[in-house]
Amino acid sequence: MEPEIAVVIPTIRPERYKEFLEAWRPLFIKHRVNLFTVWDSENPIVETTHYIAGEEWTGAKFSIKEIMGKYSSCIVNLNGGIRNLGFAYAHRLYKPDIYITLDDDETPVGDTIQDHIDALNMKVPVSWMSTYSEYMRGFPYLIRDEAEVVLSHGTWNGFMDWDAPTQLVLGNREAFPYVGVIPKGIYYPMCIMNVAFRACVLPWMYQAPRALGVVRAGDMISGVVSKRAIDENGWAVINGMATVNHNRASNVYKNLQQEAKEIELYETFWKGDESDPYFKVYRDKLKIWQDFIEKYA
């Protein structure tokens, strides 16, 4: 059977979103996806579009309160973490097998959706790495299918996902992605704008909220938390199997102002330091999120 796929896209830009749909519609039709568009604002809504049997039709629109009910306080609007609302709606009403989340300034490279599906169908080693693209002499046979891939971290052509200080120094210098498994016990900088994951990972894919001066940390924090859970469950993350074109650079000076505090947090959070008051806010909202996921399991 084909997997049920939910694509979640947050946006505040109708014209950009129109271009996004034109670029992705053939793949949405091909893979029969359910699209969850999160219109971010003071009063965000989620709009559903279904691609079934070669046809496209728009479903209902729902607000935070209608989707989340008593769990609404874990949803924070006016930031990238608003895509949590799309994840939540998809989980509550549709129970998809696979979630794919993108940004509205991206276009596919080949069949990005199929590439994510193929990645999530892999079993890979996580306790060994090969020194070449194929397994070399001495690579144990018994661990070659060691772990199920549950998260496919995609890459992008065009504008890189630098932090602001790096962007100021490097501009838009070309960079080349690592393609392969993220080994067990190793972290990586997750960028949520081209990611696919299986439903089992959803409790840890909560995008950390804007709070206490922390604005752009949502995917970085969820990347660390989800990788810990993936390692503990004997699953795997693979990088670089699915690619998009990223067509818009964010404002480096605005990012520089927003990232000052979180850059400091990144240096120690992955080591287990959650002494900053921000993490109390994050953990409280993560608990509410996980209660919601369990409630509608």
pLDDT digits (tens, 9 = 90+) for 209-220: 999 999 888 999
Rounded average pLDDT over 15-26: 96
Rounded average pLDDT over 177-198: 96
Report how many domains make up the chain: 1
Strands 5-11 and 34-39: parallel
Residues with Cβ within 8 Å of 14's Cβ and at least 6 positions away in sequence, in order, are: none
Q: What is the pLDDT of residues 46-66, one digit of tens each?
A: 999 999 877 898 888 999 999
Q: What is the pLDDT of residues 126-150, one digit of tens each?
A: 999 999 889 999 999 999 999 999 9
Task: Please give the mean pLDDT across all residues of the chain.
Answer: 94
- Domain limits for position 124: 5-295
Residue 249 is predicted with a pLDDT of 62
Rounded average pLDDT over 17-25: 97
SS (H, E, C) 94-130: CCCCEEEEECCCEEECCCHHHHHHHHHCCEECCCCCC
How far is 114 from 30, CA to CA, in rounded Å? Answer: 10
Q: What is the pLDDT of residues 268-296, one digit of tens each?
A: 999 999 999 999 999 999 999 999 999 99
Residue 251 reports pLDDT greater than 90 = no
Of the candidates 287, 182, 272, the one whose C-alpha atom is nearest the C-alpha of residue 227 is 182
Residue 162 reports pLDDT greater than 80 = no
Q: What is the pLDDT of residues 76-121, one digit of tens each?
A: 999 989 999 999 999 999 999 999 999 999 999 999 999 999 999 9
SS (H, E, C) 215-274: CCCHHHHHHHHHHHHHHHCCCEEEEEEEEEEECCCCCHHHHHHHHHHHHHHHHHHCCCCC
Residue 222 reports pLDDT greater than 70 = yes
| CATH code, domain with 131 | 3.90.550
Residue 256 reports pLDDT greater than 80 = no
Rounded average pLDDT over 147-154: 98
How far is 35 from 20, CA to CA, in rounded Å? Answer: 12
Residue 289 is predicted with a pLDDT of 98
**Which stretches does DSSP call E strand in 130-187?**
147-158, 180-182
